[in-house]
């Protein structure tokens, strides 16, 4: 797999991931309506399968950052990489309560300040939770890079294996046990056994998958692993609702999501590497630099688009869901593309510059 292919398949996976993120948030309201119907089942399962998107974003970051020699440079990390995610995050954390205030007809400087002053403690918009672990991983990336560049593949498998067992497998089994047994598999915090915790595991996993010879894995096996894990995970989430941690911990603590994410990442990696069509390549290369900005803005657009559809569109169900979904994709992409063309604003709100965007 040559360098050009590697760069493209990461662009390809990144765009697919943002499309899945948008679907999660657009379809969220439909997972709570018409419960038990056939259309509800389709949306519910599709929504669950789309949860591979967040892990995949962390895996992409791991694949890129941990493969780059620049990552060990503290100067480069703090002058180039961290500002590109922190500055847009802070500005959108201010913009979000302003937009919500306008929507709710309760905009005031006091209300906005009350929300913004908690920025270190909690996100000012629900979807911005993703930025907290991402920034943390960016800060830790030089140390993690130092480890992985000196680690054998066997050692990386060992570390990610510890992560999967302690952070994902054991918590998943624990929530399915009878109430009187639900603490039997919990590890004491005093033991401090979580050597690789949270989303850091996905970060290292993304790098590991670039070192393994995944091309030899049968695509149908990968697809079946993805589908069976997704269907079973969705079933478990219905009968054991607490699997879905309100703080988004289920991306790690539900073993089905890491399994789905690994299978999907490899499948998309292989698919992206096989694409040769010039138009498709150029389309994904155009969209890829816009993904971060699309992530930051899409939920604010849902705030306005969703009630408009509910009020003005007569049909419902899957058709309405996908129409809203396509509307949010188009609006988000168009707005961020325009912002990306404005010098200064593009960096502040999307982390990009007018120079040719490169994967870093």
pLDDT tens-place string over residues 309-348: 888 777 777 888 999 999 999 999 999 999 999 999 999 9
Radius of gyration of the chain (CA): 21
**What average pLDDT does range 11-22 have in this prediction?**
97
Q: What confidence score (pLDDT) does residue 118 get?
A: 87
Q: Is residue 46 domain-resident?
A: yes
- Number of domain units in the chain: 1
Q: Where in the sequence is the domain holding 299, given as residue range(s)?
A: 3-350
Query: What are the pLDDT digits (tens) for 244-256?
Result: 665 667 888 889 9
Picking from 43-47, 65-69, 189-193, 287-291, which range would have the lowest pLDDT averaged per residue? 189-193
Query: What are the pLDDT digits (tens) for 162-192?
Result: 999 988 888 888 877 777 776 777 766 656 5
Of the candidates 221, 230, 226, the one whose C-alpha atom is nearest the C-alpha of residue 46 is 230
The C-alpha atoms of residue 123 and residue 181 are separated, in whole angstroms, by: 34
pLDDT grade for 112, boundaries at 50, 70 and 90: confident
Q: What confidence score (pLDDT) does residue 54 get?
A: 96
The C-alpha atoms of residue 245 and residue 224 are separated, in whole angstroms, by: 26
Q: Is residue 356 domain-resident?
A: no
Q: Is residue 23 domain-resident?
A: yes
Q: What confidence score (pLDDT) does residue 4 get?
A: 46
Output the CA–CA distances (angstroms, integers) from residue 110 to 96, 98, 107, 126, in the order listed.
14, 11, 9, 20
Q: Is residue 280 domain-resident?
A: yes
Q: What confidence score (pLDDT) does residue 245 get?
A: 62
- Give percent of the chain above pLDDT 70: 91
Q: What confidence score (pLDDT) does residue 1 get?
A: 41
Q: What confidence score (pLDDT) does residue 241 get?
A: 66
Q: Is residue 355 domain-resident?
A: no
Q: What confidence score (pLDDT) does residue 13 get?
A: 97
Q: What is the dihedral of CA 246, 252, 257, 263, to 10 degrees?
A: 160
Q: What confidence score (pLDDT) does residue 268 get?
A: 95
Q: What is the dihedral of CA 173, 197, 138, 8, to 10 degrees?
A: -40
Q: Taking the CB of residue 227, how many other CB atoms lie within 10 A of it?
A: 14
Q: Is residue 98 domain-resident?
A: yes
**What average pLDDT does range 72-85 have in this prediction?**
95
Q: What confidence score (pLDDT) does residue 358 get?
A: 60
Q: What confidence score (pLDDT) does residue 12 get?
A: 96
Q: What is the mean pLDDT of the chain?
A: 88
Q: What confidence score (pLDDT) does residue 253 get?
A: 82
* pLDDT surpassing 60 at residue 5: no
CB 318 within 8 A of CB 39: yes
Query: What are the pLDDT digits (tens) for 30-41?
Result: 888 877 788 888
Q: What confidence score (pLDDT) does residue 166 get?
A: 86
- Give percent of the chain above pLDDT 90: 61
**What average pLDDT does range 106-116 have in this prediction?**
83
Q: What confidence score (pLDDT) does residue 249 get?
A: 74
pLDDT grade for 359, boundaries at 50, 70 and 90: low
- The predicted model scores a pTM of 0.91
Q: Is residue 121 domain-resident?
A: yes
Task: Say which residues have a Cβ less than 8 Å from residue 261's Cβ, sequence separation at least 6.
Answer: 52, 55, 56, 59, 202
* pLDDT surpassing 80 at residue 356: no
Task: Say which residues have a Cβ less than 8 Å from residue 233's Cβ, sequence separation at least 6.
Answer: 48, 254, 256, 257, 260
CB 216 within 8 A of CB 72: no
**What average pLDDT does range 132-146 have in this prediction?**
95
Higher pLDDT, 107 or 19: 19
The C-alpha atoms of residue 40 and residue 358 are separated, in whole angstroms, by: 41
Q: Is residue 357 domain-resident?
A: no
pLDDT grade for 11, boundaries at 50, 70 and 90: very high
Task: Give me the helices (H) in 184-290, please.
Answer: 200-211, 219-239, 250-253, 256-274, 278-287
């Amino acid at each position: 797999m040559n360098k050009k292919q590697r760069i493209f398949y990461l662009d390809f996976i990144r765009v697919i991931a943002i499309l899945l993120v948008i679907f999660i948030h657009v379809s969220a309201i439909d997972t709570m309506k018409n419960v038990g119907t056939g259309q509800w089942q389709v949306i519910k399962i599709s929504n669950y399968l789309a949860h591979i998107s967040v892990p995949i974003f962390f895996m992409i970051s791991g694949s890129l950052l941990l493969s780059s020699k620049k990552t060990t440079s503290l100067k480069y990390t703090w002058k180039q990489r961290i500002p590109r995610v922190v500055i847009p995050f802070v500005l959108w954390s201010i913009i979000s309560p302003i937009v919500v205030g306008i929507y709710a007809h309760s905009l005031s400087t006091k209300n906005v300040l009350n929300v913004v002053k908690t920025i270190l403690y909690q996100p000012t918009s629900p979807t911005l939770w993703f930025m907290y672990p991402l920034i943390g991983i960016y800060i830790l990336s030089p140390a993690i890079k130092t480890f992985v560049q000196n680690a054998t593949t066997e050692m990386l498998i060992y570390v990610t294996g510890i992560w999967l067992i302690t952070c994902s497998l054991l918590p998943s089994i624990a929530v399915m046990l009878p109430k009187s047994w639900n603490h039997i598999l919990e590890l004491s915090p005093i033991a401090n056994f979580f050597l690789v915790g949270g989303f850091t595991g996905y970060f290292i996993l993304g790098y590991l998958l670039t070192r393994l010879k995944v091309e030899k894995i049968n695509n149908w096996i990968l697809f079946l692993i993805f589908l069976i894990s997704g269907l079973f995970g969705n079933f478990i989430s219905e009968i054991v609702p607490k699997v879905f941690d309100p703080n988004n911990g289920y991306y790690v603590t539900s073993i089905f999501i890491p399994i789905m994410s690994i299978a999907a990442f490899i499948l998309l990696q292989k698919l992206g590497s096989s694409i040769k069509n010039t138009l498709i390549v150029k389309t994904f290369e155009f969209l890829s630099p816009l993904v971060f900005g699309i992530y930051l803005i899409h939920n604010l657009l849902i705030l306005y688009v969703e009630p408009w559809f509910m009020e003005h569109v007569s049909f419902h169900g899957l058709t309405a869901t996908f129409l809203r979904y396509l509307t949010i994709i188009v609006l988000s992409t168009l707005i961020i593309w325009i912002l990306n063309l404005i010098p200064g604003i593009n960096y502040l709100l999307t982390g990009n510059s007018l120079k040719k965007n490169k994967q870093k």
